[in-house]
Amino acid sequence: DKAKAQIEDTWAHEGGDNKPEAFEPGKGFAIMYIPKLDVVVPIAEGISKPKVLDKGMVGHYGEGKLKTAMPADKQGNFAVAGHRNTHGEPFRYINQLRPGDPIVVETKSAYYTYEMASILPQTSPSNVSVIDPVPKQSGFKAPGRYITLTTCTPEFTSTYRMIVWGKLVDERPRSKGKPQGLAG
């Protein structure tokens, strides 16, 4: 909650300028909503356990060979990691998501609504193809605008990874208000 409030406060004080958003490692830059699971969690740059994940935030794969797209990119895969147990456990119940369930990412300038498309219940931690621009095993066949959620499985272990994929279905400026799934 504190990190979410800090992000919102930063947006409020930066005003409505259209400067590109700064993405510093460990700093929150967006907020993820998974309405079906009652999840509201900050997204920070990087997947460092001590700087991001262990602080209860979701981390964006944004560095080196694991660099993935940002929501505003016109094509690519916005891939994030989050804990399933402990540290706020933002991805504890992502296995309960079903095709069509919304996953919303709010940035300083826009809301990006993705619809859950598919799940890979278990894969090796070394299977980095799941965060490719067109993620393997996702069912997506062509370039598009995707989201990938990664977490450990089974619960209370880090033996394997569970993967949930979604496809962008709506992008709206924050000035137009919250998307339908979040309104109210």
Residue 9 lies in a domain: yes
Residue 22 lies in a domain: yes
**Average pLDDT in the chain:** 88
Residue 41 lies in a domain: yes
Confidence band of 9 (pLDDT split at 50, 70, 90): confident
Residue 65 lies in a domain: yes
Exposure string over 33-50, b if 16+ CB within 10 A, otherwise e: bbebbebbbbbbbbbeee
Q: What is the pLDDT of residue 19?
A: 47
pLDDT digits (tens, 9 = 90+) for 32-83: 999 999 999 999 999 988 889 988 899 999 988 899 999 999 999 999 999 9
List all residues 6 or more positions away from 169 whose beta carbon is below 8 Å from its beta carbon: 113, 114, 115
In the chain, what percentage of residues exceed pLDDT 90?
65
Total count of domains within the chain: 1
24 has pLDDT over 70:
no
Confidence band of 3 (pLDDT split at 50, 70, 90): low
164 has pLDDT over 80:
yes
CA distances from 116 to 17, 65, 157, 158, 164 (A): 32, 25, 24, 23, 7
Residue 183 lies in a domain: no
Residue 57 lies in a domain: yes
Catalytic positions, written as ranges:
83, 152, 161
Give me the CATH number covering residue 28. 2.40.260.10
Q: Which domain holds residue 107?
A: 2-176
Name residue 31's beta-bridge partners: 42, 106
Distance of CA 15 to the CA centre of its chain: 24
Sign (positive or negative) of CA dihedral 183, 119, 91, 170 = negative
Residue 181 lies in a domain: no
Structure letter (DSSP) for residue 32 = E
Q: What is the pLDDT of residue 125?
A: 92
Q: What is the pLDDT of residue 18?
A: 45
Q: What is the pLDDT of residue 63?
A: 87
CA distances from 62 to 25, 55, 68, 166 (A): 9, 18, 6, 18
Give, rounded to a whole angstrom, the gap between the first and last alpha carbons of the chain: 19
Q: What is the pLDDT of residue 156?
A: 75
Residue 184 lies in a domain: no
Confidence band of 20 (pLDDT split at 50, 70, 90): very low
How many Å apart are CA 108 and CA 174, to the nearest integer?
8
